[in-house]
Each structure stands twice: as structure tokens, then as C-alpha cells.
Chain A
Amino acid sequence: MYYFIIIKKKLFRSLPILILYFFSFYHFQAPEVGKIGVFSFNVQMILIYFYVLKFPDDLGFGNIFLAGIINDAVIGIPLGTTSLSYLTLSLFTTYIRNSTIRAIMTTEWFTFIPALFFSNLVYLIIINNFSNVSFFYLELLQNTFFTFLFFPLFHYIFNQYQRLISKE
């Protein structure tokens, strides 16, 4: 019974990592609403931003790096591109965490804008200079916008989840 509780606790604590890996392996895409891919957003970025900001011990940088490498292999872009983009997001998030005294959801939501900006900037620079892949800037912009828009929802879900596992 004791071991079962330990395994359960470890599994619950590892869930963010498992989600991160799952979405790196599997890119879901829900049907488009009209011409806009509303559900085309980056769950990994929300997850990384939230956990590095609030619970840095639950999501290691090594896992973030590896998830990025997997993502690159699945999509077919130069290896290390997404890793560097995720690590830039982590760097910016760590900086925000160190400079913020009082954490409010709204502040975290708006600081997500520059974090996303720098992360995508790194991504664009690498894609444009290190590969021959042309891609859809509008779709990337849409994806970034909806990633930003869905942040409060995931903030609530992740917060509730963390509360739930801390009670157990």
C-alpha cells in the first residue's frame, strides 16, 4: 500500500512532464471554425511558462530540452530549433519569476506576451537561417495569439490540479 501511494504521488507530480512529452509526440489539431484555426494553439508553451513560473521543480529544463528535440523530429525541422525556443521561453520566465514580488494571474498573463515574442523570434531566426523550410507566418501568428488567449484557462486548470495534488 505504501509503495502504491508513493507511485501515485510520483505519477501525479510527473503529469506535466508526461503531457509535455505527449504533445511533443502528437500534434493535435481540432477542426477549424470558419477560416480560423481557433484550436491551433501551443499547449507545450503554456505548460512550460506556467510550470517554470510557478512550480519550477516539477518541470526540469532537461525535459523541456528533450521535448523540443522530439518536437523537431516529428515536425521535420532542424534539430534543436524548438529546444532553443522553449529554453528561451524558460529563460524569460525564470527572469520574470525572479523579478516579480507579488504574483497575480493578470500580470502573469501579460508577461506571457514578451515571453512568447522572444521564444517565437528565436524560432523564426533559426528556421529562416538554418533551414530551407518556408512556412505559414499567418498560421504561426494565429497559433501564438490563441496560445496567449487560452493561457488563463490553462492557468486555472493547472492551478486546480496543483492544489489537488498538494492536498493528497
Chain B
Amino acid sequence: MADHRDDFIIAIRYALLKKGAKQKFSLFFLILLSISIITLDKFEFSFMSPVRATLNDIVYHISVASAQPEKLRRSLVQKTKQHYYILNENKFLKKEMEFLKKQKFNNAFLLSENQALKKALDFSATKSFEREFSINAKVILDQRSPYLKSILINKGTNSGVKKGMTVFSSDYLMGTVIETNFISSRVLLLSDLNSKLPVFLSESSTNAILEGTGKKNKLRLNYLPETFIIEPNVIIFTSGKGGYLTPGIPVAISYLGKKNNILIKLLGDPDQALYVNVTNGQINQ
């Protein structure tokens, strides 16, 4: 028994300390180095922040270059699909245009009525959707990871991007900046497990928290009233609770799933976002 234990200890010690013919570092040294880096990163020493930011900038840009072949393949497949889709869509749009022409007059009336009501409530459109600050950025990497659903953008602290800023794509809310480097930043998408957003549901004006589950078309609404049953095609808006987001930004919509269950999907597709607007919480119009 004792011999067996000694053999085990000798084998482990040998594995830890013995360097191979061409090995420059022993496992023991590298394991200690890893633990030191984790500890330094955890306790956020002042010198770690620029080190990490520089490392991230370098790694992200090499990562973008390595993702180019896959990007090209994806774009070719997408363009082929798009071609056939556009053909069908064209037919459909012609019909829809006819219908919309008729609706246009009705909408003009509703718009003027809405403006008059907002004026009466002192809640004008220009006030709520005022653009205070906006940075246009390009999505440089949207690698899917089982851990974080995030994208990388090509603007960082040198362009004024700060942690906590809100990111929009085509006027739809995409997520929040969670990490800033000098020339790049990481945006946590609304679909991520760590994303939680105060929202209200149109029509019923019920408040809830929209949580990510890792899938863009399977989000979760928490803290709804106990008896509340959500219906399909309900648009979900930001409630503005918490203070940093303007209320009334459309975020998601409920829909009927394949098993006749109600699911929630994002209005903006994070996979399709090429350019985004980074703002301090106001929608970019």
C-alpha cells in the first residue's frame, strides 16, 4: 500500500518537475504562473488593466484575421440564399405595397393623434428618444461560445466607449458593453445567460425582467404577475427602470412556438449585425 502511494507521488513529482528534451518550462512552473495570473486578474491590480487591454486588442485583431475564411464561406452561403429569398420576397412585397398604400392614410391620422396626446402628457417623442451620444462601430467578431454570447466591436476607450454603454443595431437594442480595451470592446448580447433587462409588455403594460437563455429566439420573462398569461405577438419594450435606458425601446416579441407554446425572440438579430451604435442609453434615430 505504502509502496503504491510512493510510486504515485514519484510519478506525479516526475510529471510536474521533469522537463522533456525540448521543453523549456516545467509543468510546475507553468501551473504556478497560471495561478498567479488568475489571482492578479481576480484582484484587479492597477497594472493588470492595461496589460489585459493590450493583450485583448492584439488577440482580438489576430482572431478577426483567423476568422476570415469562415466569414467568406458564410457570406457566400448567405448571398446564395438571399438571392432566392429576394425573388420570393419581391412578389410578396408587391402585394404588400398595395395594401400599405391603403393603410398610409389611416396611419397619418393615428400619428397626428399620438403627437397631440403626447403633447398633452408632456411626453414628446423628441424628449424620450433624444440622441445624446452615439458612436458608430463595426462588429469585428461574433464567435459563438458556449460560455458567453457576446460580440466584439472595433471601438474602445480611445473612441469614448465605456463599460455599461448600450448597443443598438438597426434601432433595436442589442446589449451592453461589458469590457473595454483601447481599440476594441466586448458587447454582452441580450441573449446571454448573464443579461437581465427591465421591460414592460405592450397592451397590458405589465413589468417584467427579460433574461437571456443563450438562444436569441428563446428568451425568458421573469417576475411576471402570477396569473399573467402572455399572448403571441406582444411587443416587449424597455421599461427604463434602473435609470440608464430610455423607456419604450422595442426589444423583443412573443410568438407561438412549434409546440403551441409562447416563446420570446429578440427583434434585432445579433447574427446579422454588421454595424452598431454605442450610446449612453438613448436610442439612435
A residues apposed to B, CB below 8 Å: 22, 25-29, 40, 56-57, 60-62, 64-65, 68-70, 73-81, 83-84, 87-88, 90-91, 94-95, 98-99, 126-127, 130-136, 139-140, 143
Contact = CB atoms under 8 A, between A and B. Distances in A.
Given A25-B62, A134-B193, A135-B193, A87 B34 contact: yes
B25 interface: yes
A3 to B, nearest CB: 21
Contacts of B147: 75-77, 127, 133, 135-136
B30 A78 contact: no
Contact of A76 (B66, B70, B186): B186
B15 A61 contact: no
B interface secondary structure, majority: helix
Contacts of B144: 27, 29
Contacts of A57: 20-23
A61 B26 contact: yes
A80 B24 contact: no
B228 to A, nearest CB: 26
A108 to B, nearest CB: 16
23 contacts: A25-B59, A26-B66, A27-B144, A60-B23, A69-B55, A74-B59, A74-B143, A75-B147, A79-B52, A80-B33, A80-B34, A80-B35, A84-B35, A84-B38, A87-B34, A90-B27, A95-B15, A99-B11, A130-B38, A133-B194, A134-B194, A139-B146, A140-B146
Given A29-B144, A80-B35, 9 more contacts: A25-B59, A26-B63, A73-B55, A75-B148, A87-B31, A95-B15, A98-B11, A127-B147, A136-B214
Given A40-B146, A61-B25, A65-B25, A91 B37 contact: no
